[in-house]
Amino acid sequence: MTSIIPIVYDHPDFLVINKPCDLPMHDPLASVCQVLCRQLSLDQLYLVHRLDSATSGCLLLAKNKLAAASLSQLFANKKIEKYYVAISDRKPKKKQGKVSGDMKKSRGGSYMLTKHANSLPKAITFFISKSTPDLGRVFYIKPVTGKTHQIRVALKSIGSAILGDTRYKGTNSDRLYLHSAMLVFSYKQDDFCIMCMPQTGNLFTPALLQDIAVIHHLPWPKYIPPILPPTHPHGVDSRKSV
- Residue 38's alpha-carbon distances to 34, 49, 194, in angstroms, are 6, 20, 24
Residues 6 or more apart in contact with residue 98 via CB below 8 angstroms: 124, 125, 126, 127, 221
Of the residues 10, 13, 52, 89, only one is catalytic, namely 52
Residue of 158, 178, 55 lying closest to 101 (CA atoms): 158
Rounded Cα distance between 194 and 81, Å, is 10
Residues 6 or more apart in contact with residue 233 via CB below 8 angstroms: none
Question: For residue 91, how many C-alpha atoms fall within 13 Å in the half-sphere facing its CB?
Answer: 2
Instruction: Specify burial of residue 116 (Cβ count, 10 A radius: 0-12, 13-18, 19+).
Output: middle
To the query of whether residue 52 is one of the catalytic residues in this protein, the response is yes
Distance of alpha carbon 229 from its chain centroid, rounded? 30
Instruction: Specify burial of residue 53 (Cβ count, 10 A radius: 0-12, 13-18, 19+).
Output: middle
- β partners of residue 18: 58
Active site residues: 52
